[in-house]
Amino acid sequence: MADANEKTQGQLLSEKLSFKIKNVWETAGEKEIAQACGFAEEYKRFLDLGKTEREFTGLCLQALREEGFAPIEEALDRGGVLKPGDRVYRNLRDKALLCAIIGERPLRDGLAIAGAHVDSPRIDLKTNPLYEDSGFALFDTHYYGGIKHYQWTAIPLAMHGVVVGRDGQKKNLCVGEDAGDPVFTISDLLPHLAQEQMEKKASDFLGGEELDILAGSRPYRDEKAEEKVKLTVLQILNETCGMTEEDFASAEIEFVPAFKARDVGLDRSMIGAYGHDDRSCAYAAFFAALRCAPPGSAPEKTIVCFLSDKEEVGSMGNTGAESRALENFLAYLGRLAGGTGFSPEDLRRALEKSSMLSADVNAAYDPNFAQVYDKKTASWFGKGMALSKYTGRRGKLGGSEANAEFCRRVQAILDRNGVRWQYGNLGKVDKGGGGTIALYAANLGMDVLDCGIPVLSMHSPFEVISKIDLYTTYRGYLAFLKEA
Ligand code: MN
Ligand code: MN
């Protein structure tokens, strides 16, 4: 008689040949789970203070300075030489940044790079936004990135931005974040009168021009003044940050959800917040870069973290990943490497020999919308860092695909370091698709793999991620930067 507990040949063969992805909450040690929860607390605090690309970049620049990073321009102006362990950064117009820790090996051997984006979908003001209608002062807007318009109505919004006066003085604006602050909102039509509206397709029942924001309703008390409600708002703006109506023409003013990051679920396993795409990956990648070599020590290869802007509108422009910013940064690092100099060919070779993780969120499997996901290749909450071998839509169009060799190399690094990873493909074939910054880096000749954190309700005002995925992904980026 065979022992009932003894495994059959089929069971043993299945164990040997099949690939099963486990839930990290079930497999991680208690210490790791405690660390993950602590990491989530720090992340929530950071996210609440960094709700725009400028604010997030500002927080990162502050962290860089505290951790002994110096502006690369200083070394360039000095004609200095960077040694292994030296830490430098480049601020890209206060909206994006690059930072590096110089490694032991020459740049020609390639760099280990983590890249993410720090912009998120939002509501921007037009250049002449303030108007008065029917007793209301309103802000006219142009939304930024791929949003479902209707999700942004009837929620509290906060005003964030930068105003540059005639004298060139820059002033930051932030209204709606402190408990005592007023907030803003986009009004929505009551269901009682929405009969016609509800019959329209969701894509047109609320147009981009119908996203105007309530700014006030109290007339300035003066018999002779015109547009008195608008005047009250202008007066308050002038008192708050010295601006006049003309300043809107150059200002960058963004409206984002006014609520803070919160734990989601009775078990507090998830975080709901505005801007997880892509600040969850940006945060994980940035702090992995900061911590991959303690001060005074040097990583093997030079490591770089690139936090880019404008991904949600196509990555173009002087702060986007399609720009020359990454290439230029490597050229500057080469210029500062000393030795026998750094030729244009050396730069090309450094780029081609580099490896990068394109750190971006993935659409988590959502049981509410099961029909658009392929369960076999979707990313799942709690199952760790999602690897997206390729992106694109309808026949992989316009995407980027990582080589088999490079994918395997990344998987091996993760496995060696006990970092759980899972698949991360965006939906069923022909159901849609998307892109990231990966292709712009891949175009420079380097190996790039998309990977990041699964997110629910992507591009909505309140996106949700799993705490354990956030921490696992951070550990994945850390392992990659150390060992790539
Ligand atoms: Mn993204
Ligand atoms: Mn996005």
Distance 286 CA to ligand 1 centre (A): 15
pLDDT band at 392 (very low <50, low <70, confident <90, very high): confident
Element (H, E) at 419: none
The CATH class that applies to domain 122-257 reads mainly beta
Q: Counting every residue, how long is the chain?
A: 484
Distance 146 CA to ligand 2 centre (A): 7
Q: Is 17 exposed, middle or buried (0-12, 13-18, 19+ CB in 10 A)?
A: exposed
Q: Which of 54, 58, 43 is nearest to 276 (CA)?
A: 43
Q: Phi first, then psi: what are they for 285, rounded to 5°?
A: -70, -40
Inter-residue contact 94 to 285 (CB < 8 Å): no
Q: Which of 403, 410, 409, 402 is nearest to 439 (CA)?
A: 402
Distance 164 CA to ligand 2 centre (A): 28
First to last CA, the chain: 52
Ligand nearest to the CA of 121: 2
Q: Which of 307, 291, 319 is nearest to 69 (CA)?
A: 291
How many beta carbons lie within 10 A of that of residue 142, not counting itself? 13
**Can you give the pLDDT at residue 256?**
98
**Can you give the pLDDT at residue 1?**
57
Ligand nearest to the CA of 312: 2
Give the separation between CA 332 and CA 336, rounded to whole angstroms.
Answer: 6
Distance 427 CA to ligand 2 centre (A): 15
Give the separation between CA 313 and CA 122, rounded to whole angstroms.
Answer: 11
Give the separation between CA 231 and CA 245, rounded to whole angstroms.
Answer: 10
Distance 307 CA to ligand 2 centre (A): 14
In three-state secondary structure terms, 416 is: helix
Distance 386 CA to ligand 1 centre (A): 13
Inter-residue contact 75 to 88 (CB < 8 Å): yes
Distance 312 CA to ligand 2 centre (A): 5
Inter-residue contact 109 to 69 (CB < 8 Å): no
Element (H, E) at 481: helix 467-483
Residue 399, pLDDT > 90, answer: no
Inter-residue contact 470 to 361 (CB < 8 Å): no
How many beta carbons lie within 10 A of that of residue 418, not counting itself? 13
Distance 36 CA to ligand 1 centre (A): 22
**Can you give the pLDDT at residue 66?**
97
Distance 82 CA to ligand 1 centre (A): 33
pLDDT in tens, 281-300: 999 999 999 999 999 999 99
Distance 135 CA to ligand 2 centre (A): 37
Taking residues 75-101, what's their average pLDDT?
Answer: 96
Residue 3, pLDDT > 80, answer: no
Give the separation between CA 242 and CA 149, rounded to whole angstroms.
Answer: 32
CA distances from 203 to 207, 312, 336 (A): 8, 19, 52
DSSP 199-218: HS-TTTSS-GGG-PEEEE--
Residue 53, pLDDT > 70, answer: yes
Residue 421: CA atoms inside 13 Å, Cβ hemisphere, count? Answer: 28
Which sequence spans correspond to the domains of the chain? 21-120+274-483, 122-257
pLDDT in tens, 109-122: 999 999 999 999 99
Ligand nearest to the CA of 145: 2
**Can you give the pLDDT at residue 2?**
58
Distance 191 CA to ligand 1 centre (A): 33
Distance 302 CA to ligand 1 centre (A): 25
Which residues pair with residue 123 across a beta bridge? 143, 255
Distance 1 CA to ligand 1 centre (A): 58
CA torsion 408→412→415→421, rounded to 10°? -30
Inter-residue contact 171 to 150 (CB < 8 Å): no
Distance 459 CA to ligand 2 centre (A): 6
Distance 118 CA to ligand 2 centre (A): 10
Per-position b or e across 358-382, b if 16+ CB within 10 A of its CB: bbbbbbbbbeeeeeebeeebbbbbb
Percentage above 70 pLDDT, the chain: 100
Inter-residue contact 444 to 396 (CB < 8 Å): no
Give the separation between CA 319 and CA 315, rounded to whole angstroms.
Answer: 8
Distance 313 CA to ligand 2 centre (A): 9
Give the separation between CA 63 and CA 57, rounded to whole angstroms.
Answer: 10
Ligand nearest to the CA of 452: 1
How many beta carbons lie within 10 A of that of residue 20, not counting itself? 6
Give the separation between CA 423 and CA 440, rounded to whole angstroms.
Answer: 22
Distance 363 CA to ligand 2 centre (A): 10
Give the separation between CA 211 and CA 215, rounded to whole angstroms.
Answer: 12
Q: What is the DSSP letter of 390?
A: B
Ligand nearest to the CA of 359: 1
CATH homologous superfamily of 21-120+274-483 equals Zn peptidases (3.40.630.10)
CA distances from 380 to 53, 359, 451 (A): 27, 17, 13
pLDDT band at 138 (very low <50, low <70, confident <90, very high): very high
The CA-CA-CA angle for residues 89, 90, 93, to 5°, reads: 145
Tokens 């509290």 belong to which residue?
Answer: 156
**Can you give the pLDDT at residue 83?**
95
Distance 457 CA to ligand 1 centre (A): 13
Distance 211 CA to ligand 2 centre (A): 20
Inter-residue contact 67 to 87 (CB < 8 Å): yes
Taking residues 364-387, what's their average pLDDT?
Answer: 96
**Can you give the pLDDT at residue 147?**
96
Mean pLDDT for the chain overall: 95
Give the separation between CA 237 and CA 244, rounded to whole angstroms.
Answer: 7
Distance 353 CA to ligand 2 centre (A): 28
Helices (H), 69-194: 72-78
Ligand nearest to the CA of 118: 1
**Can you give the pLDDT at residue 339?**
78
Distance 70 CA to ligand 2 centre (A): 31
pLDDT band at 431 (very low <50, low <70, confident <90, very high): confident
Helices (H), 242-352: 276-291, 325-335, 344-352
Residues with CB under 5 A from ligand 2 (ion): 277
* pTM of the entire predicted model: 0.96
**Can you give the pLDDT at residue 430?**
83
